[in-house]
Amino acid sequence: MQFPTILTLISSLALGLLPCGASAQPAPDVKVATPADDVLAQMRQAFVKNDRKQLTALLPQVRGHALEPWGAYWELKARLEVASAQEVQDFLHLYAGTYQEDRLRADWLALLGLRKDWSAFAAEYPHYRMGDDRELLCYAALIARAQTGADTADEVKRNWYALREPDLGCTQAAAALYGARKLSALDVWRKARLAIEANRPQTARAALDIVAPQASKSLTEINANPFKFLKAHATAPGQTRKELVLLAIIKMATNDADATFPVLENKWSVQLSPEERNWAWGVIGKEAAIRLSSDALDYFSRATSDADLTDDMLSWKARAALRAGKEPRWPVLLSAINAMSEEARKDSTWVYWKARALKAQGDAAQAGALLQSIASVRGFYEQLALEELGRKINVPPRPATLTPSELDAARLNPGLNRALLAIALGLRSEGVREWNYSTNLSNPRAAPGGMNERELLAAADFACQYQVWDRCINTSERTRTEIDFAQRFPMPYKDAVLRRSTEIGLDPAYVYGLIRQESRFVMDARSGVGASGLMQVMPPTARWTARKIGLVDFKPHQISDRDTNIAIGTGYLKLVLDSFAGSMPLAAAAYNAGPSRSRSWRGQSGAQALDAAVWAENIPFPETRDYVKKVLSNTTNYAALISGQPQSLKTRLGLVGPRDAATFEVNLDLP
């Protein structure tokens, strides 16, 4: 297929052919840039620097440009604290229906909450469409309780617990509900426990300011040296002291679970309440499980009730049960899953493993029903569920061809056009946000006319046509019933990828599966740690691999070249794969987190070989755990596309054996 260039889109938008109320298709093969394009880039830099004067001076130069709403947003947002309410309303009216309108409304609502201007907040909040800002949700809950007496405690607690850093809205709402006895002291202490466990001392302090403001000094001591704090206190009289002791145990456990065990077992266990004691054992068990310790289940077993454990603790208890011994501890696994919240139990991970546990215990009927509820080609556990039911992974039938009117609706959507133009002009962050806003399906408060599945497919097609692969993929994979594999699993640069894969003996499906997860085929993608290009190669790794594969005169800037990036990325992947005897899960983990970590996670010599799905689920790093599962799932689907034949994810997974220097430890100098 011949794709139009992104410059076509830039030109037609810059020329005004697709303004905010777009009514024309992009003009073909016109490549014109405008001075306003450069001005927008300058405005973005001025916004980052909070240079209000420059923003105001530059704004007139982008009037009439398709991305004028962004320039106007940056200019007003930078001076929002001194802007008048009328200026804000004028902006909301002028750019009605755009992402920028709702983004500024959210900023304005946050400012009104800070000012405690509740009447203005209550008047504006019903127009807020995104509805995803937890601080604003907490402010709204606080107002609803004051105006109507509504019981908003559960909503506030849910949003407050989900926030990693303290914010004014949820902290204020939690304090008000605690004062009104709608949140208990235990609710607030649990927030502090979660914050200490996550190494968020300021979040913990904000919670203590609500329930025990006099304990601020103790919290400082706990964060500095929890062992010293515990040693300095012989007993825990009173609820506040007991909770502080528990915070110290949690802090200590996150550093060394094994060393914390005797401290809790020999001294503090009898002084804590059953709930506090169970929480402490849950944290120690979780930290041991993350370190793949064989003692994890023993620690977890000392908690007398799974009901006192968080979903995170229970997830690690389930993982430890999977990893234990020659066979998983199915009863322990089942108990942990059943104790999870309803939301957690619905995750395909735990649906699948619950089904496996039930099947192992003889309940084939319920196991089959659970597997059937998730079985599909949509993801890792969905694919494994298909295979447990005796089916293979095939390319699903393509949805009905998109009609001209469906395609036109996407091509003429102002938000989608602005998003693609922003991405093309280097404003990727802004473009992605506007694209997501314009296509939002799941949030009922989202942009007007949130897209149904056919509209999502048309939007994905629009992005594919302009080779904006990440928006194409992410939009297409949001459909549940109408699945278009050609969109979800595109194969750009096919000749280069297939040629290089064939030359070095790599499965091209594996290469595509990895690239899709690494960069979504964004050639200029760059990670926060400096990895670059399609295959997200780090500079030191690129230099090392270039030497290994005989790429002479390699210079660091060449990693941005498509073919060089593919050559080095595939070369490194092949070396890693060979070093792990062809194990795709181990190699994927090594590619993401480093070979030394992948080796250490494999287990010590003499341990039992694991089902690779069990091994992958026990990877300590959440990012790498998700990465390995997605790469292998992607690979299986790409193999179905490339070969046209049914595929097996289980075959690709295989077993992950223990560390064995004689057969596995090859290329130990891998970076």
Catalytic residues: 518
Distances in Å between the Cα of 144 and the Cα atoms of 147, 163, 461 are 5, 21, 42
Task: Give the number of other Cβ atoms within 10 Å of residue 356's Cβ.
Answer: 24
Distance, CA of 125 to CA of 143 (rounded, Å): 11
Distance, CA of 420 to CA of 416 (rounded, Å): 6
Beta strands in 213-281 (DSSP E): none
Distance, CA of 74 to CA of 43 (rounded, Å): 7
Tokens of 210: 């609500």
Bridge partners (DSSP) of residue 393 are: 647
Distance, CA of 662 to CA of 392 (rounded, Å): 35
Distance, CA of 606 to CA of 584 (rounded, Å): 22
Q: Give the length of the chain.
A: 671
**645: phi then psi, degrees, rounded to nearest 5:** -115, 155
Distance, CA of 65 to CA of 418 (rounded, Å): 10
Distances in Å between the Cα of 403 and the Cα atoms of 221, 406, 409, 452, 606 are 66, 5, 10, 15, 60
Q: Side-chain half-sphere of 627: how many Cα atoms within 13 Å?
A: 23
Q: Side-chain half-sphere of 595: how many Cα atoms within 13 Å?
A: 20
Distance, CA of 296 to CA of 286 (rounded, Å): 7
Task: Give the number of other Cβ atoms within 10 Å of residue 341's Cβ.
Answer: 10
Segment (H or E) for 656: strand 655-656
Cβ-contact 589, 628 below 8 angstroms: yes
Distance, CA of 591 to CA of 537 (rounded, Å): 9
Tokens 């469906």 belong to 406
Closest by CA position to 576, among listed 562, 589, 560, 559: 589
Tokens of 656: 């992950």
Distance, CA of 511 to CA of 587 (rounded, Å): 12
Cβ-contact 392, 361 below 8 angstroms: no
Cβ-contact 471, 433 below 8 angstroms: no
Tokens 């990670």 belong to 527
Cβ-contact 546, 556 below 8 angstroms: no
Long-range contacts of 173-181 (CB under 8 A, 24+ apart): 173/138, 173/139, 173/141, 173/142, 174/138, 174/207, 174/210, 175/210, 176/142, 176/145, 177/145, 177/152, 177/153, 178/210, 178/211
Closest by CA position to 25, among listed 557, 462, 422: 462
Cβ-contact 178, 211 below 8 angstroms: yes
Task: Give the number of other Cβ atoms within 10 Å of residue 608's Cβ.
Answer: 13
Task: Give the number of other Cβ atoms within 10 Å of residue 572's Cβ.
Answer: 24
Burial code (b: 16+ CB inside 10 Å, e: under 16) for 227-236 equals bebbeeeeeb
Distance, CA of 611 to CA of 384 (rounded, Å): 12
